[in-house]
Amino acid sequence: MNLIYVNQLLKTINPLIQKYTSKLATKNSKAYLVILTVSFLSACASTPSHNTATSSSAEPSFMTESEEKPDSLEPYLKNLAQLHHIPLTDLQNAFQDAKTIPTVKKLVLPPAPGFKKNWKVYRSRFIEPRRFAAGQQFWKNNRRFIQQTADKTGVPAEVIVSIIGVETIYGKNMGNFSVRDSLMTLGFNYPETPNKKARETLFKSQLEDLVVLCWKENPKATPFKKCLNQSGSYAGAIGLPQFMPGSILRFAVDGDLDGKIDLRNSPEDAIASVANFLKVHGWVKGEPVYLELKDHEGAAESARILADGAPVAKLQLGDLVAQNIVDKNELPDNTPSLIVDLPSPDKNGGTEVRYVVGLRNFIAICEYNRSFFYAQSVAEFSEVLSGEISVTETAAKKKKKSTKSSSTKNKTKKKSSTKTSS
Ligand SMILES: [Ca+2]
Is residue 340 located within the same domain as residue 251? no
Distance 163 CA to ligand 1 centre (A): 19
Is residue 249 located within the same domain as residue 320? no
Q: Between the ranges 15-29, 46-60, 114-128, where is the mean pLDDT highest?
A: 114-128
Is residue 276 located within the same domain as residue 169? yes
Is residue 51 located within the same domain as residue 183? yes
Distance 238 CA to ligand 1 centre (A): 15
CA–CA gap between residue 25 and residue 365 (Å, rounded): 33
Distance 243 CA to ligand 1 centre (A): 15
To the nearest 10 degrees (0 to 180), the angle between helices 179-188 and 196-217 is: 150
| Residue where a domain terminates, one of 222, 256, 280 | 280
CA–CA gap between residue 145 and residue 127 (Å, rounded): 24
> How many residues would you count in the chain?
422
Distance 270 CA to ligand 1 centre (A): 9
The dihedrals phi and psi of 396, each to the nearest 5 degrees, come to: -60, -35
CA–CA gap between residue 250 and residue 201 (Å, rounded): 19
Instruction: Kindly give the pairing relationship between strand 315-316 and strand 336-345.
Output: antiparallel
- pLDDT for 203 equals 98
CA–CA gap between residue 220 and residue 292 (Å, rounded): 54
Number of domains in the chain: 2
Is residue 227 located within the same domain as residue 184? yes
CA–CA gap between residue 296 and residue 293 (Å, rounded): 8
Edge to edge, the sheet with strand 290-292 lists 290-292, 351-358, 336-345, 315-316
Distance 181 CA to ligand 1 centre (A): 25
Minimum mean pLDDT range among 42-56, 121-135, 230-244, 382-396: 42-56
Distance 296 CA to ligand 1 centre (A): 50
Contact call for residues 22 and 55 (beta carbons, < 8 A): yes
Range of the domain at 50: 5-67+100-280
In a domain, 148, yes or no: yes
CA–CA gap between residue 255 and residue 267 (Å, rounded): 8
- pLDDT for 398 equals 60
Distance 261 CA to ligand 1 centre (A): 4
- pLDDT for 304 equals 97
Q: Which letter does DSSP use for residue 178 in this model?
A: E
* Structure confidence at residue 67 as a pLDDT band (50, 70, 90): confident
Nearest to 354 by CA among 311, 314, 394, 312: 394
Neighbouring CB atoms inside 10 A of 304's CB total 18
In a domain, 420, yes or no: no
Distance 384 CA to ligand 1 centre (A): 29
What are the tens digits of pLDDT across the range 206-258? 999 999 999 999 999 999 999 999 999 999 999 999 999 999 999 999 999 99
Q: What is the largest CA-CA distance in the chain?
A: 71
Is residue 27 located within the same domain as residue 161? yes
Average pLDDT over residues 93-120: 94
Is residue 57 located within the same domain as residue 198? yes
Distance 167 CA to ligand 1 centre (A): 20
Distance 25 CA to ligand 1 centre (A): 34
Minimum mean pLDDT range among 179-193, 305-319, 403-417: 403-417
Distance 77 CA to ligand 1 centre (A): 29
Neighbouring CB atoms inside 10 A of 4's CB total 22
Is residue 295 located within the same domain as residue 261? no
Neighbouring CB atoms inside 10 A of 17's CB total 27
- pLDDT for 65 equals 57
Hey, which residues does 357 pair with through a beta bridge? Answer: 291, 339
- pLDDT for 395 equals 63
Is residue 162 located within the same domain as residue 262? yes
Q: How far apart are the first and last CA of the chain?
A: 14
CA–CA gap between residue 187 and residue 174 (Å, rounded): 21
Residue 75 has pLDDT above 70, yes or no: yes
Distance 146 CA to ligand 1 centre (A): 15
Residue 36 has pLDDT above 60, yes or no: no
Distance 175 CA to ligand 1 centre (A): 20
Distance 183 CA to ligand 1 centre (A): 24
Kindly provide the residue ranges of all beta strands, DSSP E only, lying in 325-412, ordered along the sequence. Answer: 336-345, 351-358
Distance 286 CA to ligand 1 centre (A): 28
Is residue 59 located within the same domain as residue 182? yes
Kindly list the protein residues that place their beta carbon closer than 5 angstroms to ligand 1, a single-atom ion.
254, 256, 258, 260, 266, 269
* Structure confidence at residue 400 as a pLDDT band (50, 70, 90): low
Distance 301 CA to ligand 1 centre (A): 49
Is residue 271 located within the same domain as residue 303? no
Q: Between the ranges 9-13, 144-148, 409-413, where is the mean pLDDT highest?
A: 144-148
Q: What percent of the chain lies above the pLDDT cut of 70?
A: 78
- pLDDT for 48 equals 35
In a domain, 386, yes or no: no
Distance 22 CA to ligand 1 centre (A): 30
pTM exceeding 0.85: no
Is residue 162 located within the same domain as residue 226? yes
**Amino acid at position 168, single letter:** T
* Structure confidence at residue 394 as a pLDDT band (50, 70, 90): confident
The dihedrals phi and psi of 60, each to the nearest 5 degrees, come to: -65, 155
Residue 385 has pLDDT above 70, yes or no: yes
Contact call for residues 233 and 11 (beta carbons, < 8 A): yes
Distance 215 CA to ligand 1 centre (A): 17
Residue 69 has pLDDT above 90, yes or no: no
Residue 416 has pLDDT above 80, yes or no: no
> Three-state secondary structure along 291-323?
EECCCCHHHHHHHHHHCCCCCCCCEEHHHHHHC
| Residue where a domain terminates, one of 280, 315, 331 | 280
Query: What residues contact 57, with CB distance under 8 A and at least 6 apart?
Result: 22, 25, 176
Minimum mean pLDDT range among 34-38, 112-116, 161-165, 356-360: 34-38
Distance 257 CA to ligand 1 centre (A): 5
Distance 348 CA to ligand 1 centre (A): 52
CA–CA gap between residue 8 and residue 422 (Å, rounded): 10
Query: What residues contact 327, with CB distance under 8 A and at least 6 apart?
Result: 291, 294, 321
Q: Is 66 exposed, middle or buried (0-12, 13-18, 19+ CB in 10 A)?
A: middle
- pLDDT for 167 equals 98
Contact call for residues 253 and 270 (beta carbons, < 8 A): no
Average pLDDT, the chain: 84
Minimum mean pLDDT range among 8-22, 104-118, 344-358: 8-22
Contact call for residues 148 and 160 (beta carbons, < 8 A): no
In a domain, 209, yes or no: yes
In a domain, 79, yes or no: no
Distance 331 CA to ligand 1 centre (A): 37
**Amino acid at position 414, single letter:** K
In a domain, 381, yes or no: no
Q: What percent of the chain lies above the pLDDT cut of 90?
A: 74
**Amino acid at position 165, single letter:** G
In a domain, 75, yes or no: no
- pLDDT for 66 equals 67
In a domain, 298, yes or no: yes
